[in-house]
């Protein structure tokens, strides 16, 4: 009987410690927080990659005066660009020529589907 009472008190103490821990961390475990930070880093990396690719295309505009029709045309004229056409999830960026000197780069974002709220869009 004494052992049973001790175990109940011990379990209650563990439950209290557990709830205090999650109240302190805002309901997120350390792993969840790290996963969120990793996802944020991928978004930041994709934005930087899009900015660099945009600068390469803009430098081409200075020489030839027109935005490429598609990324394949850019890769043919500048073979070293191949690595820059992917987002942080390893998916191809979508390129849209808006005018002779304007274009848009789009990443499908974390969900991998274009046209959703998490898309990353950069217009130049």
Residue 111 placed within a domain: yes
Q: Report the DSSP pairing between strands 103-107 and 94-97.
A: antiparallel
**Does 70 fall in a domain?**
yes
Q: What is the pLDDT of residue 81?
A: 66
pLDDT of residue 53: 86
Q: Flag whether 10 is in a domain.
A: no
User: The CATH number of the domain where 35 resides is what?
Assistant: 3.30.700.10
In whole angstroms, give the CA distance from residue 120 to residue 45. 11
Provide the pLDDT confidence category of residue 121 given band limits of 50, 70 and 90.
Answer: very high
Give the span between the Cα atoms of 88 and 56, in whole angstroms: 18
Note whether residue 12 is domain-resident: no
In a domain, 15, yes or no: no
pLDDT recorded at residue 111: 87
Domain that holds residue 88: 25-123
- 116 touches 55 (CB < 8 A): no
Q: Which pLDDT score, from 0 to 100, does residue 34 have?
A: 81
Element (H, E) at 104: strand 103-107
In a domain, 13, yes or no: no
Q: Is the pTM of this model over 0.85?
A: no
pLDDT one-digit tens code per residue, 66-112: 777 787 777 777 766 666 688 888 888 898 888 877 889 999 989 88
Q: Is residue 3 part of a domain?
A: no
Q: How many domains does the structure of the chain reveal?
A: 1
Q: For residue range 1-60, what is the model confidence (pLDDT) as tens digits?
A: 676 777 777 788 878 877 776 666 565 667 887 888 888 889 998 998 899 888 888 877
pLDDT of the residue at 107: 93
Quick: pLDDT tens for 60-73: 776 656 777 787 77
């Amino acid at each position: 009987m004494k052992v049973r009472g001790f175990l109940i008190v011990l379990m209650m103490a563990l439950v209290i410690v557990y709830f205090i821990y999650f109240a302190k961390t805002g309901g997120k475990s350390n792993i969840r927080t790290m996963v969120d930070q990793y996802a944020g880093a991928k978004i930041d990396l994709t934005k930087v990659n899009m900015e660099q690719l945009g600068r390469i295309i803009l430098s081409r505009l200075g020489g030839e005066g027109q935005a490429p029709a598609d990324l394949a045309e850019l890769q043919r004229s500048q073979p070293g660009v191949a690595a820059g056409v992917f987002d942080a999830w390893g998916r191809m960026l979508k390129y849209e020529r808006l005018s002779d000197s304007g274009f848009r780069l789009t990443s499908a974002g974390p969900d991998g589907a274009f046209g959703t709220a998490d898309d990353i869009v950069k217009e130049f």
